[in-house]
Amino acid sequence: MKIIPVYLPQYHTIPENDKWWGKGFTEWTNLKAAKPLFEGHYQPRVPLNNNYYDLSKVETLKWQCRIAREHGIYGFAMYHYWFNGHLLLEKPMEMLLAHPEIDINYCISWANHDWTDGWKAKPGKAKTLITHDFNDEQDWIDHFNYMLPFFKDSRYMKENNKPFLIIYITHIIPKLNKMLDLWQQMAKENGFDGLTFMYQSAASAIATGWDRSRFDYGIEFNPGYAKMVTDNSLKTKVWSYLMRYSRVVKKTLGIKKSLIKPKKEVTKLDYDDIWQKILSLRPKYPNMIPSAMTDWDNTPRHLNNGTVYLGANPSSFKKYFKQLVLNTRKYYHQDKIFVFAWNEWTEGGYLEPDERWGYGYLDAIRDTLQELGELEK
């Protein structure tokens, strides 16, 4: 079984973040400032041995890849930020490409959403920091050519000589099929049999009105996917609509304020309940790939507007993860499971060791795969 956590390359300074958030900003900045917002709230999260690492250093990358492989992780889906040629947080993936001795598989997940200051701005005052022009067809060529050296890396994930390429949000790209067809053609011109396209965001997974036919796989990215699919309330349907169309509606009507009304207190949800929803899922469309979640708590970013799943721990995770592996065999006929997440510390989703649980979540994955005879060599 190929276990593929998503990987956030945010833990090093870049000029843009210095400008937008203050000099020296990384994800650690928000994590260190986090405070418990209610009794029993597990904040701040502290990496084991205070390992607030720097992803600009190759030693950090080597350590991450070593402990990942030792615990049965097949590889990382690395978030990639491309804004019409403007790259952000590209250093870890470029460093990985430059060091072929590092033993890890990986693929690109193009996180093609805008960057805003919404998690820090006052209600209704959020600003877009950087955005995309998806209709620039020359940019499609430039983007493919940037990704091509990664596709050619022997460690890059492929299936039938077709490199994986995940697009986080599909339905906001107006000429999606034309872009994908061009990339398929360019891949074949460069010695591949095409590309293996996947879509990731829960919003894209449940959205209708866009063409899935160019995609080999869809990812049930949790906890968002399970929550949306299993909740048929009007409130959730309205939320899904706003999530899908807010970018277009705001641009068309010239609205600058957020369409989402801020909350006044932390939303508390149950970890066991969301996992029961995840395990109740069956493929809604052909070739869906299930995903696991370690934990979720985004209050370091959003404070009282955040959401927390209560009750997460490695023991429960192992129990649920084992059943997910069995479900993946039985219902999905897949050899892949995505995981939220390798290192989303300010959203509470991480496999990396922390002061409370040590290597508990990584041990849960390795031990489960060993018990089920699914450990990748």
Distance from C-alpha of 233 to C-alpha of 228, rounded to nearest angstrom: 9
Question: Which pTM was predicted?
Answer: 0.92
Write down the pLDDT at residue 230.
85
Q: Which residue has the tokens 């299993």?
A: 230
Sequential DSSP letters for 82-139: EETTEEES-HHHHHHHH-TTS--EEEEEE--SPEE-TTTSPTT---EEE---TT-HHH
Q: Which residue has the tokens 């029993």?
A: 40
Is residue 235 included in any domain, yes or no? yes
For 76-123, write each residue's pLDDT tens digit. 999 999 999 999 999 999 999 999 999 999 999 999 999 998 887 766
Is residue 291 included in any domain, yes or no? yes
DSSP 8-state secondary structure symbol assigned to residue 304 = G
Closest CA to 150 of 80, 84, 199: 80
Report yes or no: 337 and 298 within 8 Å, Cβ to Cβ.
no
Domain containing 27 equals 2-371
Counted domains in the chain: 1
Report yes or no: 26 and 359 within 8 Å, Cβ to Cβ.
no
Distance from C-alpha of 218 to C-alpha of 283, rounded to nearest angstrom: 10
Write down the pLDDT at residue 125.
78
Distance from C-alpha of 359 to C-alpha of 353, rounded to nearest angstrom: 5
What is the SS3 assignment for 281?
Answer: coil
Write down the pLDDT at residue 19.
96
Is residue 376 included in any domain, yes or no? no
Backbone angles phi, psi at 331, to 5 degrees: -105, -30
Distance from C-alpha of 331 to C-alpha of 345, rounded to nearest angstrom: 31
Distance from C-alpha of 327 to C-alpha of 333, rounded to nearest angstrom: 9
Q: Please state, in angstroms and as integers, the Cα–Cα distance from residue 216 to each residue in 52, 194, 356, following that order.
A: 37, 11, 39
Is residue 19 included in any domain, yes or no? yes
Report yes or no: 178 and 189 within 8 Å, Cβ to Cβ.
no
How many CB atoms lie under 10 A from the CB of residue 326? Answer: 14
Which residues, including other chains, have CB under 8 Å from residue 52's CB and lie 6 or more apart?
28, 32
| Tokens read off for 365 | 């994955």
The DSSP bridge pattern shows strands 349-350 and 343-344 to be antiparallel
What sign has the CA pseudo-torsion 25, 31, 32, 36? positive
Is residue 337 included in any domain, yes or no? yes
Is residue 69 included in any domain, yes or no? yes
| Tokens read off for 3 | 């276990």
State the CATH number of the domain containing residue 11. 3.20.20
Write down the pLDDT at residue 116.
92
| Tokens read off for 242 | 């706003």
Distance from C-alpha of 179 to C-alpha of 148, rounded to nearest angstrom: 15
Sequential DSSP letters for 41-71: ---S--BGGG----TTSHHHHHHHHHHHHHT
Over the chain (377 residues), the average pLDDT of each successive run of 10 is 98 97 97 97 98 98 98 98 98 98 98 90 82 97 98 98 98 96 98 98 88 96 93 57 55 56 80 98 94 98 94 98 98 97 98 98 98 83
Distance from C-alpha of 126 to C-alpha of 301, rounded to nearest angstrom: 14
Write down the pLDDT at residue 258.
54
